[in-house]
Chains A and B, each alone.
Chain A
Amino acid sequence: MINAAYLAKAGKKVLVLEKRHVLGGAAVSEEVYPGFTFSVCSYVVSLFRPHIVRELNLAKHGYDIIPMDASYQPLPDDLGLCRWGDASRSRREIARFSKKDSEVYGEFSKVMTHMARLAKEVIDHPAPDVASINPKELSSLLRMGKVFKNLGPELLQMNTKLLTMSSADFLDLWFESEVLKGPMSASGVIGTFLGVRSPGTAYVLLHHYMGDLDGAFRSWGFAKGGTGGISMACASAAKSFGAEIRTNVDVAHVKIKNGKAEGVVLANGDEIDSKIVVSNLDPNRTYLKMIGEDNLSPDISTEIKRFKLRGSSGKVNFALSGIPNFCKKRDGLEFMKGDIAIAPNVDYIEKAYDQAKYGEFSERPFINIVIPSLTDPTLAPPGKHVMSCFVQYAPFDIKEGPEHWPKIADKFGDAVQNTIKEYVPDIDSLVEHRQVVTPWDLQETFGLTEGNIFQGELTLEQLLFQRPISGYAKYKTPIDNLWMSGSGTHPGGGIMGSPGELSAKSILKEKVI
């Protein structure tokens, strides 16, 4: 949608085709149960690039983000740990578990702020091609190198650690408290089929420090009306620039002649011709279904098949008749208005991963919960609430085979509900409706191959000039006039807008249309 908006803004004639009846892909709000609006898949936003909001005038089109203040880790029979925007308040909360950690927390944030500044430099530009001697590529590399150089030796070393260590090991460099490290380390594995002790996961922690909302770093928020609100704002902007959007249109494949894309062929046999085609599908779908192996060299087919998708998470969304209280010992509801993590310690998450490694969903999974209706009452009837649970691990490849997922979806939903019950004993009586979104559903309904929420794992070997594969990391494909713009391209997933933007800017720069 962002890609379309940028191209339309540049005066190009753009047609957007969406298979589903509703726009937004994984950033979608749907009234799954009467009166309750669910952010069915993606549920919070932070990384969305501010310059995209400006350049597409999204605020005018309804882009509205309500900030979240708290990050809460409940513990049975305890107050749990709540981290707040108020630094002193967080310090007191953390000091209940470790005095040292409570003070080091600020130092950690400072280092991550530095690292995030570096990462932003990387995400706001197309990935430079390290194998090229083209002067433009070299100068782009040089620009990136300059940012690294300015970091100074200490931060450079830290950067190396961040890129190579596991999130649990990285946090061990600072912290001793399990209650703090649990939810923090979990940020490092979201969307990957890795554990908190797997090397390389520290980098993903950074994704949680990169966001900025209204100029404040590291703030997360809810999109008004659910995450679909962002998609609708983007669609509205695209339309205002003249783009046409059609829903319920199933594209079968790209129409390719002599190695060139000339349009698309729909499932019903209709053809739509165009000068270029931009696919925001994941690399697997784009290459293997839209292009087709017949049109690819065996090497590239093999490489694309090796691109790791391996979805590891699911969503369980609840329509509740009342407030699920995660800690009756605390006053008020403020502590539940941000995100609530079920990750009481590092081992808990690693154990959840252990089960997943051998093809089972975690019986006691890491859950990231939000109750956005506490902040945005328009999402549920008065007094009632929607509760969104991001659940990991739910491996796409379960023992019985992925197609078996629909048969165990309910069991998976029960595991989540039972886990929550340890903190909210009366949860069963509050549930009016439960929607279970398995990795299989993510693939079949939302088009995310193997249910990977980022259209491909965010691990170092699949980032930058290797996303999705070397040689085709600049939104191009082996097929002329076929471009890519999804999370499977640089800089990756999360509601960020960057792949769409950078892809559109690359297309416009090449003057192919």
Chain B
Amino acid sequence: MPIQTPFHVRTSELNKNLDWKDWGGYFAANSYNVVNDFEYFAFRHSAGLIDITPLFKYKVTGKDASTFLSRLIVKDISKLKLNQATYCCWCDDRGMVIDDGTVMHFGENEYFLTSADPSFSWFSRFIKKQDVHIEDVTDSVCGLALQGPTSRDILKNICDADLDSLKFFWTTSAKAEGFEFKISRTGYTGDLGYELWVKNEDALKLFDAIWMAGQNFNIRMAGIAALDIARIEAGLIMNGVDYHSSLHALIPEQMSTPYELGLGWTVNLDREPFMGQRALQSEKKNGSRWATVGIDVNWPDLEDLYHKHGLPPHTECGAWRHSVPIYDKHQASKQIGYATSGTWSPILKKNIALATIEIAHVKPGTEVNFEVMVGHHREKVRAIVAKPQFFNPARKRSVLNK
């Protein structure tokens, strides 16, 4: 049975929908209200607050910490400046992705790593004689994500951190009344937003301060359902949904390389050896077989189909996570890929999806056929291949005090 996060006493009060999911062995709110659109709109128009404690969290310390992480992660972590953060992934020696996460450089020889899957065993087995210590702080440090255009204003009200200067993917320490915490300007919504890391004993102090300050800025609790819509709009993939960890994959088809996942930009290829380097060099040279793309499903086509069956147009409520076949434009029977998650984008007014497609078809603008169920009928509609990132507002990276 899942356990409760330190915020549970508050989040359970606010969860009017009693809609909980198991996230990494913790109870996580899927939605706080029966009508959960407002949770999504909070991300885009005010601020949504999510309990992200279930993320696996590790403190990596020691003289060799940066070399150690650089050898396991596809990104050169030794280049990370103090207080800087980076999104990254790590692979096995076949260059197949094990997990993705964030590394934050919190202090000299001190890094904070978050991941979707338990990663202690994987990282620990490579320590050998290096001066590296990994502490699993998943159960002792908890996290809140405050995401949305008013998130900065809310935070400014509760702590002393210089948030006007804090750049995208940088971190800072913050002091509030009676407690300290860490702020990283990171998130999973593709919007202006912050993730806050605090010791369990200060969890409720942090929560209450934010919640109270947030009342003037239309803060809302947001669940995983709303987060899913936002992350798909932002083109952010999810372990276990859009790809599978090579440690869990049963067959090669279930594994992916960083390039195939659109994470090629996180790979620092030409440097000291790192896990998966040789395979990734070879892939870089010879080309990838697959790519992750965005899919923009043609709405008029869909409307016509519904009309044909005598039905009003309909989209699934919220985001979906299952495999949907994608076919060649000219050969309707030839499958060229599959979508792994999708949503109606309320802000873009588009029916979008994230998909894995054969490399020959990944050029933005390529037309493909997308499978839909209309009533009880399997149909196909036209769709356009796009870049995965559909939504990327300027405020996400904006700095007020340059």
Q: A residues within 8 Å of B by Cβ?
A: 86, 88-89, 91-92, 99-104, 106-107, 110, 113-114
| Cross-chain contact B122 with A86 (CB below 8 angstroms) | no
Interface string of B182-222 (1 = CB under 8 A from A): 00000000000000000000000000000000000000000
| Cross-chain contact A102 with B25 (CB below 8 angstroms) | no
B2 at the binding interface (Cβ < 8 Å) = yes
User: What are 10 A-B residue pairs whose CB atoms fall within 8 Å in the complex?
Assistant: A86-B2, A88-B25, A89-B1, A91-B25, A100-B120, A100-B124, A101-B121, A106-B247, A110-B248, A110-B250
CA distance A471 to B122 in the complex (A): 48
| Cross-chain contact A88 with B250 (CB below 8 angstroms) | no
Given known pairs A88-B25, A100-B121, the reply for A107 and B247 (CB within 8 Å) is yes
Closest residue of B by beta carbon distance from A89: B1
The interface residues of chain A lying within 8 Å CB-to-CB of B118 are 91, 102-103
The interface residues of chain B lying within 8 Å CB-to-CB of A101 are 121
- Distance in angstroms from A80 CB to nearest chain B CB is 17
B136 at the binding interface (Cβ < 8 Å) = yes
Closest residue of B by beta carbon distance from A334: B1
CA distance A88 to B118 in the complex (A): 10
B24 at the binding interface (Cβ < 8 Å) = yes
The interface residues of chain B lying within 8 Å CB-to-CB of A102 are 118, 121
B22 at the binding interface (Cβ < 8 Å) = yes
| Cross-chain contact B24 with A88 (CB below 8 angstroms) | yes
| Cross-chain contact A99 with B2 (CB below 8 angstroms) | no
CA distance A113 to B250 in the complex (A): 9
Q: Which of A91, A106, A114 contacts B250 (CB 8 A)?
A: A114
Interface string of B1-34 (1 = CB under 8 A from A): 1110000000000000000001011100000000
The interface residues of chain B lying within 8 Å CB-to-CB of A100 are 120-121, 124-125
| Cross-chain contact A88 with B120 (CB below 8 angstroms) | no
Interface string of B212-249 (1 = CB under 8 A from A): 00000000000000000000000000000000000110
The interface residues of chain B lying within 8 Å CB-to-CB of A110 are 247-248, 250
CA distance A99 to B123 in the complex (A): 12
The interface residues of chain B lying within 8 Å CB-to-CB of A89 are 1-2, 25
- Distance in angstroms from B140 CB to nearest chain A CB is 13
| Cross-chain contact B1 with A86 (CB below 8 angstroms) | yes
Q: B residues within 8 Å of A by Cβ?
A: 1-3, 22, 24-26, 118-122, 124-125, 136, 247-248, 250
- Distance in angstroms from A82 CB to nearest chain B CB is 12
| Cross-chain contact B22 with A88 (CB below 8 angstroms) | yes
CA distance A113 to B249 in the complex (A): 11
Closest residue of B by beta carbon distance from A98: B121
Q: Which of B25, B120, B121, B122 contacts A92 (CB 8 A)?
A: B25
CA distance A100 to B124 in the complex (A): 8
A-B CB contacts (within 8 Å), total count: 41
| Cross-chain contact A99 with B24 (CB below 8 angstroms) | no
- Distance in angstroms from A128 CB to nearest chain B CB is 26
CA distance A106 to B24 in the complex (A): 14
Closest residue of B by beta carbon distance from A150: B251
| Cross-chain contact A99 with B121 (CB below 8 angstroms) | yes
- Distance in angstroms from A260 CB to nearest chain B CB is 50
Point out which of A91, A92, A104 has the most chain B C-beta atoms below 10 A from its C-beta. A104
CA distance A502 to B2 in the complex (A): 44
- Distance in angstroms from B105 CB to nearest chain A CB is 24
Q: Which of B2, B124, B125, B248 contacts A88 (CB 8 A)?
A: B2
CA distance A92 to B124 in the complex (A): 18
CA distance A91 to B26 in the complex (A): 12
| Cross-chain contact A104 with B22 (CB below 8 angstroms) | no
- Distance in angstroms from A302 CB to nearest chain B CB is 46
The interface residues of chain A lying within 8 Å CB-to-CB of B247 are 106-107, 110
- Distance in angstroms from B118 CB to nearest chain A CB is 4
Q: Is the interface of B mostly helix, strand, loop or mixed?
A: loop
The interface residues of chain B lying within 8 Å CB-to-CB of A106 are 247-248
| Cross-chain contact A103 with B120 (CB below 8 angstroms) | yes
CA distance A113 to B248 in the complex (A): 11
The interface residues of chain A lying within 8 Å CB-to-CB of B124 are 99-100
The interface residues of chain A lying within 8 Å CB-to-CB of B122 are 103
CA distance A92 to B56 in the complex (A): 13
- Distance in angstroms from A177 CB to nearest chain B CB is 12
Closest residue of B by beta carbon distance from A109: B248
CA distance A494 to B247 in the complex (A): 31
4 pairs of A and B residues whose beta carbons are closest in the complex: A88-B25, A103-B121, A103-B118, A100-B121
Closest residue of A by beta carbon distance from B139: A92
The interface residues of chain A lying within 8 Å CB-to-CB of B1 are 86, 89
Closest residue of A by beta carbon distance from B3: A92
CA distance A329 to B148 in the complex (A): 45
| Cross-chain contact B120 with A99 (CB below 8 angstroms) | yes
CA distance A107 to B118 in the complex (A): 12
CA distance A102 to B122 in the complex (A): 11
CA distance A101 to B120 in the complex (A): 10
The interface residues of chain B lying within 8 Å CB-to-CB of A107 are 247
Closest residue of A by beta carbon distance from B26: A88
The interface residues of chain A lying within 8 Å CB-to-CB of B248 are 106, 110
Question: Can you add 8 more A-B contacts, CB < 8 Å, to A99-B136, A100-B125, A103-B121?
Answer: A86-B1, A86-B22, A88-B2, A88-B22, A91-B25, A91-B118, A103-B119, A110-B247
CA distance A278 to B367 in the complex (A): 65
The interface residues of chain B lying within 8 Å CB-to-CB of A114 are 250
CA distance A104 to B119 in the complex (A): 10
Point out which of B25, B26, B124 has the most chain A C-beta atoms below 10 A from its C-beta. B25
CA distance A92 to B136 in the complex (A): 12
- Distance in angstroms from A296 CB to nearest chain B CB is 47
CA distance A114 to B254 in the complex (A): 14
The interface residues of chain A lying within 8 Å CB-to-CB of B136 are 99
CA distance A102 to B119 in the complex (A): 11
- Distance in angstroms from B233 CB to nearest chain A CB is 29
The interface residues of chain B lying within 8 Å CB-to-CB of A113 are 250
- Distance in angstroms from A240 CB to nearest chain B CB is 37
CA distance A114 to B247 in the complex (A): 13
- Distance in angstroms from A484 CB to nearest chain B CB is 36
The interface residues of chain B lying within 8 Å CB-to-CB of A92 are 3, 25
- Distance in angstroms from A93 CB to nearest chain B CB is 11
CA distance A99 to B58 in the complex (A): 13
CA distance A110 to B136 in the complex (A): 24
Given known pairs A88-B25, A99-B136, the reply for A104 and B250 (CB within 8 Å) is no
The interface residues of chain A lying within 8 Å CB-to-CB of B125 are 100
Closest residue of A by beta carbon distance from B124: A100
- Distance in angstroms from A149 CB to nearest chain B CB is 14
Closest residue of A by beta carbon distance from B247: A107
- Distance in angstroms from A159 CB to nearest chain B CB is 16
CA distance A106 to B248 in the complex (A): 8
CA distance A110 to B245 in the complex (A): 12
- Distance in angstroms from A155 CB to nearest chain B CB is 11
CA distance A91 to B117 in the complex (A): 12
- Distance in angstroms from B30 CB to nearest chain A CB is 16
- Distance in angstroms from B267 CB to nearest chain A CB is 24
- Distance in angstroms from A98 CB to nearest chain B CB is 9
The interface residues of chain A lying within 8 Å CB-to-CB of B2 are 86, 88-89
Closest residue of B by beta carbon distance from A101: B121
The interface residues of chain A lying within 8 Å CB-to-CB of B3 are 92
- Distance in angstroms from B296 CB to nearest chain A CB is 36
CA distance A102 to B124 in the complex (A): 13
CA distance A104 to B250 in the complex (A): 15
Closest residue of B by beta carbon distance from A84: B1
Closest residue of B by beta carbon distance from A104: B121
Closest residue of A by beta carbon distance from B22: A88
- Distance in angstroms from B206 CB to nearest chain A CB is 24
CA distance A114 to B248 in the complex (A): 12
- Distance in angstroms from B157 CB to nearest chain A CB is 36
CA distance A88 to B27 in the complex (A): 11
- Distance in angstroms from A334 CB to nearest chain B CB is 9
- Distance in angstroms from B240 CB to nearest chain A CB is 12
CA distance A88 to B250 in the complex (A): 20
Closest residue of A by beta carbon distance from B23: A88
CA distance A102 to B117 in the complex (A): 12
CA distance A212 to B25 in the complex (A): 25
Point out which of A86, A101, A103, A114 has the most chain B C-beta atoms below 10 A from its C-beta. A103
